[in-house]
Amino acid sequence: MDITPIIDPLNPAQREAVTSSTPALLVLAGAGSGKTRVLVHRIAWLMQVEGTSPHGILAVTFTNKAASEMRSRIENLLNIPAQSLWVGTFHGLAHRLLRRHAKEAGLPSAFQILDSDDQHRLIRRLLKTLDLDEARWPPRQVQWFINAHKEEGRRARHLAESYDPFQKQMQRIYLAYEETCERSGLVDFAELLLRAHEFLRDTPEVLDHYQRRFHHVLVDEFQDTNRIQYAWLRLLTRERENLFVVGDDDQSIYSWRGAKIENLHKFQKDYPSHRLIRLEQNYRSTSSILNAANALITHNEGRLGKTLWTEGGIGEPVSVYAAFNEQEEAYFVAERIKHWTQEGNARRDAAILYRSNAQSRQFEEKLLAMGIPYRVYGGLRFFERAEIKDALAYLRLISNRHDDPSFERVVNTPVRGIGAKTLDLVRDLARAEKCSLWQAAETLCRDAAVPTRARSPLSGFLQLIETLTLDTAELPLWEKVQHVVPASGLRAHYEKEKGEQAEARVENLDELVNAARQFEYEPQLDTELSKLDQFLSHAALEAGENQSDEYEDCVQLMTLHAAKGLEFDLVFIVGLEEGLFPSLQSLEEPSRLEEERRLCYVGITRAKRKLFLIYAETRRLYGKETYPRPSRFLREIPSEHLQEVRMRGNTGRPIAFSQTSPSTNDNGGVFKLGQRVRHAKFGEGVILQYEGEGSQARVQVNFAESGIKWLMLAYANLQRP
């Protein structure tokens, strides 16, 4: 057998990892060091050389995108379909497991999945039912409470009795939430993992089966695993220590979502036979860029340690630009991108990375004004759109009458005269009888004591669902969807809605029919689950694309988080200011600050050829002018790795300067707007504006300690700090 295609494209460290005879392996893979390649080639090696059946391999990722990329790369490398291989996300695999063993795991066979939005709505409704004030028990916080406990493996009944009334109430809500989900046959994201874990843990014969079955378990982005995910991996591999993980502690940026870097240390303890291999050769960036990244990340403590290097050249220096304000920041970036494309480069190879989504606006405006096509990542995905979720809710009710969140969602959408009063009756009864909203509604419709004004629209709704069910019973999935969209009245409802968005909504509803049609051709999960139920699960588990116009050559705008795993020739990291990046909320806590630093590290290592680090001297934030200090991350990179740039064809005077004070631009060229200065008495500050000329020139300075003051330039004796 020819193993050269598996071995040849690898460097020594990669090769060591791929061919290791030790099954427990920790691959510390730096940014751009070829971690996916190692994973893919490892799997190929196991199958082709060690003769492991594809059946015996489990590969786990975090995103659907990563999973499908891995699968297709394996297929390309081996030139065979990799269907029998279990490659998927933690949630997808847990889902698969639970579908297979639904009964044994204590779930109804047609259980459905709640996404975060559904969960949030359910919690809000629950609070109302429990007659709790949302101001005191904010739904987001409740959601966080529940998910955090589930991720730690704790159910409501496991929580210790608390004397803190707040805590106590939270626990009660958690318990009630669990009951509601149970009754409605619903499972949230965290529940998928928790349930799968409990099931394996408590069902020895099944656990034994999977332990035997999976000869090798491989995990991507291991630094992002949370506690329950680790426990799940541990269960499957504890007997044979057959766990191969790839990760990078320096790129852990999701601890706020429960990711535990500690799992890397835990792995080392729990798998004593393991080997550790570092992938430090970088194939992405110039050494200028890597130097900056390496220097920055050394400011973090407790790292496993790693230094990226490259055989490639020095490349262009990393540039730092101090913009006057956020407008000028955007102008500068747009201008550079214009030159970049004029030099014959593609727009899609340029990216603007920011800390928070709100920052995208100014860049969009400038790019739009200059006629540069761009694409903003993030935002609602297809299956998360309100109109799509409405349609799915009808479909869910067709499949399962007791799906309370779906009932709530569409019982009066489109409006059919079922008001708050009527719904309260339904909810109260459901609560009293501990039954579903559907059952409660049925009972009420038979109850002569209920006024007809309330009864008839309600029974109309029940009738509608029954009719939809009957009418679509024999239809294939896509025709079911095609039938339900208009017959539910949703299409008409959105058609008569006004605004530009409404049109898109109707289009989306039509697109849902296409999505269903496409789904019909996709490979089946091996269950007796109806196609409809499979489609609904698919919709929850894979929320779909953000935007569609991927073919056009566009500048890419996204958050630093969204950029993880991507690479671009030209990268701008913008808004490098204290309080913005690092974010205000992270300044107090060292551990959160370190995460911000890792985020910056991730950003820097996205750049292949040229990197700009940009901050503004003045920034309008929440409608107020602020005078932030440049980010500490800039100071943490030694200046020999950085190069300050000024606007092209401009002797250090920002463009905005002439706009702000067109007549008074002569102060000897020493001071400019937004510049930091030091005053003997008032300390450090920033120049806001000035007026007058020569000996009459006055400047307004915002001092950190003393506030905003006007000073005569001639007497103030301002220094550059």
Catalytic residues: 35-36, 220-221, 251, 606
669 assigned ligand-binding residue: no
Buried-exposed string 131-142: b where 16+ CB fall within 10 A, e elsewhere: ebeeeebebeeb
Count CA within 13 A, CB hemisphere, residue 235.
Answer: 23
34 assigned ligand-binding residue: yes
Give me 274's structure tokens.
């393991």
Q: Are 289 and 261 in contact (CB under 8 A)?
A: no
On the 0-12 / 13-18 / 19+ scale of CB atoms within 10 A, 159 is middle
Give me 128's structure tokens.
């109302």
32 assigned ligand-binding residue: yes
CB of 249 to DNA, least distance (A): 13
Please, which residues have CB within 8 angstroms of residue 101's CB and are 6 or more apart in sequence?
199, 203, 206
CB atoms within 10 A of CB 456: 16
150 assigned ligand-binding residue: no
CB of 98 to DNA, least distance (A): 13
DSSP secondary structure, 556-567, as one string:
EEEEHHHHTT--
CB of 427 to DNA, least distance (A): 15
| Minimum CB distance to DNA smaller for 173 or for 718 | 173
CB of 604 to DNA, least distance (A): 17
CB of 345 to DNA, least distance (A): 25
33 assigned ligand-binding residue: yes
30 assigned ligand-binding residue: yes
Q: Are 29 and 279 in contact (CB under 8 A)?
A: yes
CB atoms within 10 A of CB 367: 24
CB atoms within 10 A of CB 328: 27
Residues in contact with DNA by the rule CB under 7 A: 62-65, 89, 91-92, 115-116, 134, 189, 221, 224, 254, 256-257, 259, 355-358, 378, 412, 415, 417-420, 541-543, 558-559, 561-562, 583, 585-586, 592, 596, 620, 622-623
Give me 286's structure tokens.
């110039």
Give me 145's structure tokens.
């409470």
Single out the residue of 109, 123, 114 nearest to residue 91, CA to CA: 114
| Minimum CB distance to DNA smaller for 512 or for 562 | 562
Give me 148's structure tokens.
């955090």
| Residue 492 CA from chain centroid, whole number | 34
| Minimum CB distance to DNA smaller for 228 or for 614 | 228
DSSP secondary structure, 26-53, as one string:
EEEE-TTS-HHHHHHHHHHHHHHTS---
DSSP secondary structure, 162-182, as one string:
-SSHHHHHHHHHHHHHHHHHH
CB of 117 to DNA, least distance (A): 9
Please, which residues have CB within 8 angstroms of residue 234's CB and are 6 or more apart in sequence?
270
Please, which residues have CB within 8 angstroms of residue 45's CB and are 6 or more apart in sequence?
3, 6, 18, 19
CB of 666 to DNA, least distance (A): 32
Binding residues: 29-36
Binding residues for ATP: 29-36
